[in-house]
Amino acid sequence: MPSSVIRSFDYDAAARRLDIEFVTGRRYSYHDVPARIVAAMRAARSKGRFFNARIRDHFAFTRR
């Protein structure tokens, strides 16, 4: 999953929580993210662009 912005991400389907680690080392958990959004992110050619358009500013988050 090469990305210039996102180092890695993981999804907990039971909790509907998307955990993202950015290349800066910062980690965030995004809450109440539907599985279909995560599936679309996995399929997206640009993970960073998808994140900016469909996740950032759309879901509540906590910094980990």
pLDDT digits (tens, 9 = 90+) for 10-63: 999 999 999 999 999 999 999 999 999 999 999 999 999 999 999 999 999 999
Q: Which two tokens stand for residue 4?
A: 């210039």
What pLDDT sits at residue 4? 87
**Residue 35: which of 59, 52, 18 has the closest Cα?**
18
User: Residue 50: phi, psi to the nearest 5?
Assistant: -60, -45
What pLDDT sits at residue 35? 98
Q: How far apart are the first and last CA of the chain?
A: 22
What pLDDT sits at residue 1? 56
What pLDDT sits at residue 2? 58
Q: Which two tokens stand for residue 5?
A: 């912005």
pTM for the complete prediction? Answer: 0.93
- The helix or strand, by DSSP H or E, that contains position 39, with its residue range, turns out to be helix 35-43
- Beta strands, E only, the chain: 6-12, 17-22, 27-31, 61-63
What pLDDT sits at residue 3? 82
